[in-house]
Amino acid sequence: MELDPEKLPPAERYGLLISVIQPRPIAWVSTQNHKGQSNLAPFSFFTGITAQPMSVCFAPVRNRQGKKKDTLINIESTGEFVINVATQQSAEKMNQTSAEYPYGVSEFERAGLTPLPSVRVQPPRVGESPVSLECKLIQVIHLSEGPLGGNLVLGRIVYVHIQDPVWKEGKISHRDLQAIGRLEGSFYARVTDTFEMPRPRRPS
Ligand SMILES: Cc1cc2nc3c(=O)[nH]c(=O)nc-3n(C[C@H](O)[C@H](O)[C@H](O)COP(=O)(O)O)c2cc1C
């Protein structure tokens, strides 16, 4: 099978991309608008960038009608967001928060999740998430407008919350974190079959 992306409609390209890049970690992003109404949604086009500055990025695309998602609208107006880690225990609620509720409706309330105060930013973090990263916006890179138009949000991590049970020997234990990964279609992966492979030593 060989494919020329230029010959595919955007929705098919999107489906192809999410089946190429798997598993993907899930940023469960909480934001607030200027009225203080909170918003929560998952994004799996997500990764860390570097430690200096300690930074992350994720990609909220425009929806199929070409409109910006609530998460992006809020980040562009306030410059703040929190990335919460989605886990096995919270998987169904995370999925529920991906529904397209009208702007201003809180997915925390709809999914029965606990908003906890953040320390350095206004948006609340998710109490059910064992790790939360408070972030301030560095930059939004707009790739295109129209349906599925791409945006990349870059954020600097200004505060980190880690619940004690997942913190083992100076790091976050993958066994205790139980993060989930997004696969193709509606499939997800659990981190239950892992292996260790130390990096090679520097050649002499
Ligand atoms: C696991 C998962 C991962 C998702 N990843 C993305 C993503 O990377 N980019 C995106 O634009 N939408 C993604 N979505 C869809 C958004 O969560 C969905 O459009 C949501 O309604 C956006 O909410 P908002 O308008 O409140 O920001 C994902 C949905 C799920 C369930």
Question: 25-182 sits in which CATH class?
Answer: mainly beta
The residue whose CA has the least distance to atom 15 of ligand 1 is: 98
Query: pTM, whole model, 2 decimals?
Result: 0.97
Where are the domains positioned within the chain?
25-182
What number of other Cβ atoms are within 10 A of residue 172's Cβ?
16
The residue whose CA has the least distance to atom 26 of ligand 1 is: 70
97 near 84, Cβ under 8 Å? no
Closest atom, ligand 1, to C-alpha of 107 = 26
Write out pLDDT tens, residues 173-204: 999 999 999 999 999 999 999 999 999 988 87
Read off the amino acid at residue 62.
R
13 near 61, Cβ under 8 Å? no
What is 70-133 written as a DSSP string? HHHHHHHHH-EEEEEE-BTTTHHHHHHTTS-PPTT--HHHHHT--EE--SSSSSPEETT-SEEE
Write out pLDDT tens, residues 89-143: 999 999 999 999 999 999 999 999 999 999 999 999 999 999 999 999 999 999 9
